[in-house]
Structure 1
Amino acid sequence: MKKILYFIAVCTVLLAACKKNGMTVENTEYEKVAPGNPKYSYLKFLNLTPGSPVANFYLDGVKFSSALSSSGVENAGYGYNGLYPDLGYAVTTPGSHKVTANIIPSATVDKNLEVLNTTITPAAGKYYTIFTTGQYSATNKSIGPLLVLEDIKPALDTSKIFVRFVNLYNGSPNLDIVRISTGVKLANNVAYGTGSSFTEIPNPGNGVAPINVFRVDNASNGTVLIPSFSITATKGRAYTLYFRGVLGNTTFPLTASFYTTFY
């Protein structure tokens, strides 16, 4: 019997999945959990390994990510830039856990191959985003190592939006991020494999979900790396903006993306 607990707003959904005759059967139970309940640790996975195959994540040998198949053969999972869960957090018990990832069994190459094997130790009542890193290739069949960032929730305000920046652009210089409309530097000198703290945008614009535009510079010499990228962000929420790709690689160019972290 496998149990996965999802945290969306102030509710969690407990998915109990079990194998029967080669099919995956899910039964759903509901449990109310207060945010930051010390009974749990709250996890989000984001696959940022360029070249990664489609895989699913396991904790202590039990499937943790929820991509399932309706055909009886697992054919869905999380490839490059795949986020699980897309909103909220999946939940586990605090303490040491073995994290593994396996290529989905319906893959045409290296099906079921283990491509990650490491350990995390999330603390009670805390939130984390777990990023895969590195570069996957025929000679490096791994989506590790992991970057584990604690997601420290800011004091949200419905008149503002909150942003942080994570640099996972392989070969990247340190980055500065500027809000174009004001010229204000929101984060500076963000090195590869690190993330900034959340910072507020006090006047994000008119409406419930205004558009905000940013620029990314090389922190050492001011060279503009991304002239502009925009996000449509709902006031009162916090977002993670992240940079991915491989320096000098046209298959995996420098790209800015974002996801909702808290709301």
Structure 2
Amino acid sequence: MDYREMTKYLILAATLLLAACGENPVQVLPTDSLEASRIKFFNFGVNAPGVNFYAGNVKMTAILSATGSEATTGVTYGSVGNGGAYSQIAPGNYTLTGKIAATTDKDLAIASIPTAIADGKLYSLYLSGFYNTTTKSSDGFVVEDAYSPQIDYSAAQVRLVHAIANANALTLYRRPSADTTAAWVVIGGPVSYKGAGTFTDVPMGVYDLAARYTDSTTSKIVRTGVTLSGGRVYTIGARGDITITSTTATNRPFLDNTTNR
């Protein structure tokens, strides 16, 4: 094959290639922006079944089984959906629900919380209180996660969320971990059931945390050895049954620690 014949074939091949690409040879990727609003989902309803959380008819959480299908466990008591990560949600008015994930009573809503989601804000939903096995219902509430966007690497931002139905208002305290002679220092103010405290700066470190009634010096709940890293934001969630004294019971009063940032 001489040079002129080779050139002819190369031109033909290039023409066919361009024709195959059409008018838009470069793939155009979606450019829609991500939703700026976010929400987390917690199942803190004592004795509540595992649930999937919904915003209207849109499923916001689900658990993948080992076989690749959706598991029937859902978000179980004491857990947070989607591995603790925030889920995108468009601004608007919603009925947020927790629906039973198990085969029995599948998709039965045990809590429905009407909620207005504002653009660019962060939220957390909590199933709370005690699950009623007769009515198959649980309490629930939503709080805004209004922490400062400023990052201080010498301190953490910490707040308390109160999800214990049979407990009075609680105040969160801290002291250096394992230092039983150190004074307890208050973090924020009293928080009532279904309430959230203000995010408060705490110097980075390892602490014992305690929750007390506002008129008492006795700690109702204690959690030891909690690391608070600089620049991070934490929610300490009080859950369980305040009357339980066992240190191992699933429904004992407990201080959950979840990272917001």
Match of 1:158?
153
Match of 1:172?
167
Match of 2:7?
none
Choose between structure 1 and 2: higher helix proportion.
2
SS of match in other structure, 1:143: strand
Runs of 4+ in 1 over 6 A off after TM superposition: 29-32
Match of 2:252?
253
Alignment check: 8 A CA contact 2:96 2:112 kept: yes
Superposition map of 1:108-119 within 5 A: 109-119=104-114
Task: Give me the CA root mean square deviation.
Answer: 2.4
Residue number among 46, 54, 65 corresponding to 1:58 in the alignment: 54
Cα distance in 2, alignment partners of residues 223 and 110 from structure 1? 42
Shift of the 71–91 alpha-carbon distance from structure 1 to 2, 3 Å rule, reads closer
Shift of the 30–142 alpha-carbon distance from structure 1 to 2, 3 Å rule, reads farther
SS of match in other structure, 2:186: strand
Q: Which stretch has the larger CA shift, 242-251 or 187-196?
A: 242-251
Shift of the 224–91 alpha-carbon distance from structure 1 to 2, 3 Å rule, reads same
Cα distance in 1, alignment partners of residues 125 and 160 from structure 2? 14
Cα distance in 2, alignment partners of residues 122 and 104 from structure 1? 25
What is the number of equivalent residue pairs in this alignment?
Answer: 221
Shift of the 126–58 alpha-carbon distance from structure 1 to 2, 3 Å rule, reads same
In structure 1, runs of 5+ residues without a counterpart are: 1-28, 206-210
Match of 1:4?
none
Give the TM-score normalised by structure 2: 0.75
CA deviation vs aligned residue, 1:118-172 (integer Å, no higher than 9, x gap): 422110110001111231132131133x221111122221121111111112211
SS of match in other structure, 2:201: strand
Cα distance in 1, alignment partners of residues 73 and 134 from structure 2? 24
Alignment check: 8 A CA contact 2:46 2:77 kept: yes
Shift of the 176–112 alpha-carbon distance from structure 1 to 2, 3 Å rule, reads closer
Amino acid at match of 1:149: V
Tell whether 2:40 aligns with 1:48.
no
Match of 2:198?
197
Give the TM-score normalised by structure 1: 0.75
Cα distance in 2, alignment partners of residues 94 and 50 from structure 1? 30
Amino acid at match of 2:136: K
